[in-house]
A = this chain, B = another copy of it.
Amino acid sequence: MRLVILGGVAAGTKAASRARRLNPELEITVYQEEPEPSISECGLPYFLSGVVRKREVLIARTPEQFAERDIEVLVRHRVERIDAAGKKLSVRDLRTGEAFDDTYDRLIIATGARAVLPPIPGAELEGVFKLRFLTDSDEIGSYIEERTPGKATVVGGGYIGLEVAENLCRLGLEVSLIEGEDRVALAYGPEVSENVEVELKANGVGVYTGKKVDEFTGKGRVEGVKFGDRELETDLAIVGIGIRPNVELAEEAGVEIGSTGAILVDRHMKTSVPDIWAAGDCVETINLTSGRPAWVPLGDTANQMGRVAGTNAATGYETLEFPGILSTGIFKVFDLGVGKTGLSEKDATEAGFEVVSAGLWAHDRAAYYPDAQKVFLKLIADRATGRLLGAEAAGSGADKLTDICATALWGRLSYPDLVNIDLAYAPPYGPALSPVIQAATILSGKFDRAREGVRASE
């Protein structure tokens, strides 16, 4: 029995390891275009700046280490065609350019996603980069070393753009960030966006929102960036917008694509084609709060999906399920941690909910305990049922509050459940009543008043 896995980053290598553990008899081959498998792509912004110093630490396992576990990992190999009827693969060895055929009994597609440069004139200039792979990071690093740029522009105010902006600042560059929408961190509510902008500016980043980049200028090499009626000088530009699932290969093989543009899978990570599973950044899943299809390419989810796909492909049964996601996420920008789970107010409204929300600033420990810092938390609930729909947090301990709320969403809790929840309290770790409890209590008051309003009008 031969299992072939296309893609060797988070989902692909997790699937391979899991399949090997469950079935020592399987032949397992992983094909991977990039020169290194098992990369932590989330670490790349930090590798760029040297916060993470050694390249090796981003590589969880080398092909040699996989070989020791009897998993063949072939890097610099591109699978160019899947013949699903014949269970054949056309593969190209990118080092030699040679093509060859392979066969599979079971296949896992974990081809991930790619960053694409948007069709901005000048995007092909030297010095304009995207950051997705370790090779991108290498190229940017070399460029910085050779050209010693003084000014850098980051295009896109999502979490990758924000992390890159911070890390370019660490390298001593003068950084500008340009965001097409009217605020950064658009997945969050306006309070969080405002705090992120304050943090950026406090750290010397020029922030330009509501501006689409019209052109990168320069002769051969980037020298400027034009947007609206402005032009900034820039020696380096990193574009952090435009990411797409790699689905072309699957699509050509007849695998059904979902409404988000990523591969459609069932709860067992099975595609529409027999003996083909898919996992990771190339697949779509379900947002468990809205019940809608969602494509949220993130490393942790890719790992979890890889485990499910690897298990089911190894056993051939519907052994494990991947239920879906909450759309939980977190990033750090300078000293500000920012996290979310579930739906933002905008998401929730678009998904047809009438929302009630409560936001507050609280302390991250007892107010009297040394170095107490502030943290913002917003809870978003469904007016009809009281069910928690989402949460966002910014500030010290935002990761903890986000994870508490993610767990509450996972358990489909409602705001009254959170008023009396028994969380851990001691002065160094929080206020006597967690910000989650405080926010739920405020929500509770809003629901009470809404009910009184209904009663009064009856």
Contact = CB atoms under 8 A, between A and B. Distances in A.
Interface of A: 10, 40, 42-43, 46, 51-52, 54, 57-58, 159, 288, 298-301, 303-304, 307-308, 321-323, 325-332, 337, 339-341, 366-370, 399-400, 402-404, 406-408, 410-413, 417, 419-430, 432-434, 437, 441
Given A52-B369, A339-B429, 7 more contacts: A10-B432, A42-B425, A52-B368, A54-B368, A304-B433, A307-B441, A407-B411
Nearest to A410: B421
B368 A426 contact: no
A366 B307 CA distance: 19
Given A57-B368, A427-B46, A422 B40 contact: no
B42 A426 contact: yes
Contact of A403 (B300, B400, B411, B417): B400
12 contacts: A300-B422, A300-B423, A300-B433, A304-B419, A322-B420, A328-B424, A329-B424, A330-B424, A332-B426, A339-B429, A341-B424, A404-B404
A207 to B, nearest CB: 21
Contacts of A411: 407-408, 410-413, 417
Contacts of A417: 410-411
Contacts of A369: 43, 46, 51-52
**Considering the complex of A and B, which 10 residue pairs feature the smallest CB-CB distances, nearest first?**
A411-B411, A57-B368, A330-B424, A407-B407, A300-B425, A326-B422, A400-B400, A399-B429, A402-B424, A328-B422
A408 B406 CA distance: 10
B407 A330 contact: no
B421 A57 contact: no
Contacts of A159: 426
Contacts of A329: 424-426
A51 B371 CA distance: 11
Contacts of A428: 332, 337
A424 B328 CA distance: 5
- Please indicate which of the listed interface residues A321, A413, A427, A429 has the most CB atoms of chain B within 10 Å of its own CB: A427
Given A10-B432, A366-B40, A367-B57, A298 B407 contact: no
Contacts of A58: 368
Given A410-B413, A411-B407, A433-B304, A43 B425 contact: no
